[in-house]
C-alpha cells in the first residue's frame, strides 16, 4: 500500500500509513524495513518510501529508531536521499545527541551521499550549540575546501556563537566580512549582535546597532525589542525597558509572552507589584494567557511588599483562568503569610494544598517551621519538622538552622544541641549560620565557655566568623560584665578586615555604661561617628541610662538635648530613664513634666517610677 501511494505521489497519505505502522505495538524497525524491502521490486517502487520512513520516525521524535532504520538501509545497500539524511541530522542536533549526529554525518560522507549547504549548516549548528569555537572555525574552512561558499545562515550561526561566548570583536569581524562576500546581514544577524552587546552590558552600543539596522533598511522585530528590554532589565533600568515596550507597540509590533515576562520580572525585582500588575493586565488584553511562572512572580512581589491579601486574590484569579497554582505558588504565599505573622492563614493554606492534591516539599515545611519559630511556637515548629521526616522529606541545612535558631531564641540550648547532633549524624555539616546561631544562643544564656569552645571549633574547621558572630560574642562578654574583652574583639574583627556595624558599637556602649565606665562608652561613640555610623536612639538611651543610674542628671540632660539636636527622636525608654533618674534625685516636678511630655508624644508610661 505504501509503495502504491508513493508511486501515485500521495505522499501525505503514504506517511500517515507509515506512521500507523511505526506506532503499531510489537512491530520492530527491522520488520518494517524488511517488509518494505521485500515488496520494493515487486511494486516497482522508488527510494522515496525509505526517505518517508526516516522522516516519519524523526517527526514522531523516535530518533533512535530513525538512526537504526538509516543503518539497516545502509546495510541493505539502499541509501536514503540527502533530504532524509538532513531530516535525521537536524533531529539529532535538536536533542543534542552530538556523537550520534557526527557518526551519521561521517556515514553520509563515507557513502558519498552528496551533501548540500543545508547539511553543512546543520553540522555547523551542532558545533556552535556545543560552544566548540575552534572546531567550528575549522569546519568553516572545510566547507570552503569542499567547494561550498558559507551562506548567511552559516555566518549567523558563527556570529551567535561568538556573541554567546562574549567574543564581540570576533562577531563584528564576521559581520563586517559578510558584505565583502556578497552576503547581506539580516534581522537574525543583527539580533544576535544586539543580544551579545546587551549580555555584556554595552547597552549604548546596542542602540547604535539598532540605528544601523534602520540605515540598511531592516526593521527591528519583536525579538529585537525583547532583547533590548532584556538588556534594560539587566541594568535594572525600568524606564528604558518601558520606553522599548512603548516603542515596539508604536511600530505596530505585538508584544509576546517573552516581552511581558521580562517586564513583569523587572517590575517585581524592583519591588513594584502594582506596575507588574499593570503589565499582567496588558498581557491579558493582548490575548496572551499568563502561565504559572508569570502569576507566581507577581504574587511573590505582593508578598514581599507585605500585601499578601492581594497575592491571595491573584491566586484565586489564576485558578479561575485555568492556570492552577503549583507548589512554588503556594510556598510563595506561605512565606508571605508567615512573614506577616498570619500563621492561622498559613496553616489553612497548608491544608488547602493537601485538598488540591499538591504534595508539600521541603521548602513548604522549612517556610512554616521558620514562621512558627519567629512566632515563638517552637512546639508547632518541632511537630512540622517531625512530619517532614515522616513524609521522607530530608531536612537540609536551612531547615536545621531554622529550628536550631528557634530553640536558641527560646533559651532551650539542650534541644538545640540535640538537633546539632542529629544533623551531623545525618551527614549534614554545620556551616557559618549554624555556628553563629549556637554561639549566640550560649552567649544569650551567659555560657561563654561553650560559646568560645564553638568559636574555636569553627575557626579550626576553616569557617571564618562574620560580623554577626563577632557581635554575638561581644554581647556575651558585655552581658557577663567584661566589656573590655568585647572591645578587644572589636579590634580583632577590624584587623580581620570586617567592618563593625551599629549593633557592634551599641552593644559595647551599653556594656560599658552598665559597668559605669562612661568615658569608655563616649570614646566608642566618637569612634563610631568617625567610621560614618550615626548614633541612634539605642546609643543615646544607653548613655542616658548610664548617667541616670549614677544620678548624674545634668550630664543626662546634655545627652538628651544633643539627641534632639541631632534629629534622633526620643522613645518610651528615653523618657522612662530620665523620669526614674529625676525621681531618684527627688526632682519629682521634672519627672512629672517629662511624664506629661511623654503623653503628648503618644507614649504610654510605665508609671512604676
pLDDT, tens digit, 9 for 90 and up, residues 217-235: 999 999 999 999 999 999 9
Contact 75, 111 (CB under 8 A): no
The rounded distance, in Å, linking the Cα atoms of 538 and 508 is: 12
Contacts 24+ apart (CB under 8 A), 329-334: 329/292, 329/295, 329/296, 329/299, 330/358, 330/360, 330/364, 331/361, 331/363, 331/364, 331/367, 332/296, 332/299, 332/300, 332/303, 333/299, 333/303, 333/308, 334/364, 334/367, 334/368, 334/371
Compute the average pLDDT of residues 455-474.
95
Mean pLDDT in the chain?
A: 90
- For residues 8 and 233, the model is more confident at 233
pLDDT digits (tens, 9 = 90+) for 125-163: 999 999 999 999 999 999 999 999 999 999 999 999 999
The rounded distance, in Å, linking the Cα atoms of 129 and 132 is: 8
Q: What is the pLDDT of residue 609?
A: 47
Q: What is the pLDDT of residue 379?
A: 94
In the block, cell 512558627 appears at: 372
The rounded distance, in Å, linking the Cα atoms of 528 and 545 is: 19
With a pLDDT cut of 90, the percent of the chain lying above it is 80
275 torsion bin: left (phi>0), alpha (psi -120 to 50), beta (else): alpha
Compute the average pLDDT of residues 228-248.
93
Split at pLDDT 50, 70, 90, the class of 468 is very high
Residue 273 confidence (pLDDT) above 50: yes
* Half-sphere exposure for 359 (CA within 13 Å, toward CB): 6
Contact 87, 54 (CB under 8 A): yes
The rounded distance, in Å, linking the Cα atoms of 30 and 58 is: 16
Q: What are phi and psi of 291, to 5 degrees?
A: -95, -175
The C-alpha cell that represents 528 in the structure block: 563610631
Of 201-205, 336-340, 514-518, 602-606, minimum mean pLDDT range: 602-606
Q: State which H helix or E strand residue 434 sits in.
A: helix 432-444
Residue 17 confidence (pLDDT) above 90: no
The rounded distance, in Å, linking the Cα atoms of 403 and 428 is: 14
Look at residues 513, 515, 457, 467 and name the one whose alpha carbon lies nearest to residue 493: 467
Domains and CATH numbers, the chain: 151-253 (1.25.40.10), 255-355 (1.25.40.10), 536-609 (1.25.40.10)
Direct distance between the N- and C-terminal alpha carbons of the chain, in angstroms, rounded to an integer: 105
DSSP secondary structure string for all residues of 486-554: HHHHHHHHHHTTPPP-HHHHHHHHHHHHHTT-HHHHHHHHHHHHHTT----HHHHHHHHHHHHHTT-HH
Tell me how many degrees the CA angle 136-142-146 measures, rounded to the nearest 5.
145
**Is this prediction's pTM over 0.75?**
yes
Q: What is the pLDDT of residue 599?
A: 87
Contact 6, 48 (CB under 8 A): yes
Q: What is the pLDDT of residue 62?
A: 83
Residue 355 confidence (pLDDT) above 60: yes
Compute the average pLDDT of residues 321-346.
93
Compute the average pLDDT of residues 257-269.
95
The rounded distance, in Å, linking the Cα atoms of 146 and 148 is: 6
Residue 7 confidence (pLDDT) above 60: no
Q: What is the pLDDT of residue 42?
A: 52
The rounded distance, in Å, linking the Cα atoms of 20 and 13 is: 11
The rounded distance, in Å, linking the Cα atoms of 281 and 265 is: 14
Residue 24 confidence (pLDDT) above 90: no
CB atoms within 10 A of CB 375: 15
pLDDT digits (tens, 9 = 90+) for 26-76: 556 666 666 666 555 555 556 777 777 788 888 888 888 888 888 888 888
Compute the average pLDDT of residues 199-211.
92
pLDDT digits (tens, 9 = 90+) for 390-448: 999 999 999 999 999 999 999 999 999 999 999 999 999 999 999 999 999 999 998 99
pLDDT digits (tens, 9 = 90+) for 99-109: 999 999 999 99
Residue 519 confidence (pLDDT) above 70: yes
Those residues whose C-beta lies under 8 Å from the C-beta of residue 411, and which sit 6 or more positions away, are 441, 444, 445
CB atoms within 10 A of CB 80: 25
* Half-sphere exposure for 148 (CA within 13 Å, toward CB): 19
Residue 240 confidence (pLDDT) above 90: yes
Burial code of 84-93, b = ≥16 C-beta within 10 A, e = fewer? bbbbbbbbbb
CA distance to 401, 405, 428, 455, 465, per residue, from 436 (Å): 10, 10, 16, 8, 8
Amino acid at each position: 500500500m505504501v509503495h502504491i501511494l508513493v508511486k501515485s505521489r500521495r505522499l501525505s497519505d503514504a506517511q500517515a500509513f507509515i506512521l500507523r505502522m511505526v506506532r503499531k505495538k510489537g512491530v520492530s524497525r527491522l520488520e518494517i524495513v524488511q517488509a518494505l524491502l521485500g515488496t520494493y521490486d515487486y511494486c516497482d517502487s522508488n527510494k522515496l518510501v525509505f526517505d518517508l520512513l526516516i522522516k516519519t520516525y524523526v517527526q514522531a521524535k523516535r530518533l533512535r529508531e530513525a538512526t537504526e532504520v538509516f543503518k539497516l538501509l545502509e546495510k541493505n545497500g539502499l541509501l536514503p536521499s540527502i533530504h532524509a539524511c538532513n531530516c535525521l541530522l537536524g533531529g539529532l542536533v535538536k536533542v543534542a545527541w552530538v556523537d550520534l549526529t557526527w557518526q551519521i554525518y561521517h556515514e553520509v560522507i563515507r557513502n558519498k551521499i552528496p551533501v548540500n549547504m543545508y547539511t553543512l549548516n546543520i553540522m555547523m549548528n551542532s558545533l556552535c550549540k556545543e560552544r566548540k569555537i575552534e572546531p567550528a572555525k575549522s569546519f568553516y574552512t572545510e566547507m570552503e575546501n569542499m567547494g561550498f561558499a558559507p551562506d548567511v545562515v552559516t555566518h549567523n550561526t558563527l556570529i551567535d556563537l561568538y556573541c554567546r561566548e562574549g567574543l564581540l570583536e570576533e562577531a563584528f569581524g564576521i559581520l563586517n566580512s559578510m558584505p565583502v562576500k556578497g552576503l547581506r546581514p539580516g534581522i537574525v544577524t543583527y539580533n544576535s549582535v544586539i543580544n551579545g552587546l546587551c549580555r555584556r552590558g554595552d547597552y549604548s552600543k546596542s542602540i547604535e546597532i539598532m540605528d544601523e539596522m534602520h540605515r540598511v533598511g531592516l526593521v527591528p522585530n519583536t525579538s529585537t525589542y525583547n532583547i533590548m528590554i532584556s538588556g534594560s532589565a539587566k541594568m535594572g533600568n525600568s524606564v528604558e525597558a518601558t520606553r522599548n515596550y512603548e516603542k515596539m507597540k508604536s511600530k505596530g509590533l505585538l508584544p509576546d509572552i517573552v516581552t511581558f515576562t521580562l517586564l513583569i520580572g523587572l517590575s517585581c525585582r524592583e519591588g513594584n507589584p502594582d506596575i507588574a500588575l499593570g503589565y499582567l493586565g496588558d498581557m491579558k488584553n493582548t490575548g496572551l494567557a499568563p502561565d504559572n511562572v508569570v502569576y507566581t512572580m507577581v504574587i511573590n512581589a505582593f508578598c514581599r511588599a507585605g500585601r499578601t491579601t492581594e497575592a491571595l486574590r491573584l491566586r484565586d484569579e489564576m485558578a479561575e483562568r485555568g492556570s492552577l497554582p503549583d507548589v512554588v505558588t503556594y510556598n510563595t504565599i506561605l512565606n508571605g503569610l508567615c512573614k506577616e505573622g498570619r500563621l492561622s492563614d498559613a496553616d489553612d493554606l497548608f491544608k488547602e494544598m493537601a485538598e488540591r492534591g499538591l504534595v508539600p516539599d521541603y521548602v513548604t515545611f522549612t517556610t512554616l517551621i521558620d514562621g512558627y519559630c519567629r512566632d515563638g511556637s517552637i512546639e508547632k515548629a518541632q511537630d512540622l519538622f517531625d512530619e517532614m521526616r515522616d513524609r521522607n522529606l530530608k531536612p537540609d541545612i536551612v531547615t536545621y538552622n531554622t529550628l536550631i535558631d528557634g530553640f536558641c531564641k527560646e533559651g532551650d540550648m539542650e534541644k538545640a544541641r540535640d538537633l546539632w547532633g542529629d544533623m551531623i549524624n545525618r551527614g549534614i555539616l554545620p556551616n557559618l549560620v549554624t555556628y553563629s546561631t549556637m554561639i549566640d544562643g550560649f552567649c544569650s544564656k551567659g555560657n561563654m565557655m561553650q560559646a568560645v569552645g564553638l568559636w574555636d571549633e569553627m575557626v579550626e574547621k576553616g569557617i571564618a566568623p562574620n560580623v554577626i558572630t563577632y557581635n554575638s560574642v561581644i554581647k556575651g562578654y558585655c552581658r557577663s560584665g567584661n566589656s573590655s574583652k568585647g572591645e578587644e574583639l572589636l579590634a580583632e574583627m577590624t584587623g580581620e578586615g570586617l567592618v563593625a556595624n551599629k549593633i557592634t558599637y551599641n552593644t559595647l556602649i551599653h556594656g560599658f555604661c552598665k559597668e559605669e565606665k562612661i568615658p569608655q562608652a563616649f570614646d566608642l561613640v566618637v569612634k563610631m561617628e568617625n567610621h560614618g555610623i550615626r548614633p541612634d536612639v539605642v546609643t543615646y538611651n544607653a548613655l542616658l541610662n548610664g548617667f541616670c543610674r549614677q544620678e548624674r542628671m545634668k550630664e543626662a540632660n546634655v545627652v538628651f538635648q544633643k539627641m534632639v539636636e541631632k534629629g534622633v527622636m526620643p522613645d518610651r525608654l528615653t523618657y522612662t530613664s530620665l523620669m526614674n533618674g529625676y525621681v531618684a534625685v527627688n526632682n519629682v516636678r521634672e519627672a512629672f513634666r517629662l511624664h506629661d511630655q511623654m503623653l503628648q508624644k503618644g507614649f504610654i508610661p510605665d508609671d512604676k517610677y
